[in-house]
Structure 1
């Protein structure tokens, strides 16, 4: 498991269960994840929906960059002129 950041709150599962509403309300306020432990070991991480969305969008962006780099390395590229022609053929020329 990745090392814990000092900005994370660590909470045993029993404490989380007893204070779940409070902890969930605090996610947006404190803007940091909560690490939930079980028997002293990391078991789960609780994030705000906004933080989850941010991480998901970042992961999708990085995957798209990786795909683009793989395409470039494999020679699967199209020139600007060829792309322009393809778009014109498919969508029609735009009126100037």
Structure 2
């Protein structure tokens, strides 16, 4: 079954946002996943931060999962998020989009 919502944890590229050899997924990401799942949505997660995915690989993952909606969870309003949104609007105009800013870490 195709996911109705695909959550994407974007790579954190700003200085000081990542500790070497340490990856703690966003607590907000898993809270959102749990709430949507309990509400009956089919939800999958792409952790682009853990796998240090570039923009091309993120788009490829989105196309492979073929969701109805993409939610991007990020620490701040990044240029990568805006570029990804623009690219997806051009190539997959039917896709719905939402950005969730995670300032609680």
What TM-score results when the alignment is normalised by the length of structure 2?
Answer: 0.29
Between structures 1 and 2, the one with greater strand share: 2
> By percentage of residues, which structure has more helix?
1
Q: TM-score with structure 1 length normalisation?
A: 0.31
Which has the bigger relative contact order, CA under 8 A and spacing at least 6?
Answer: 2
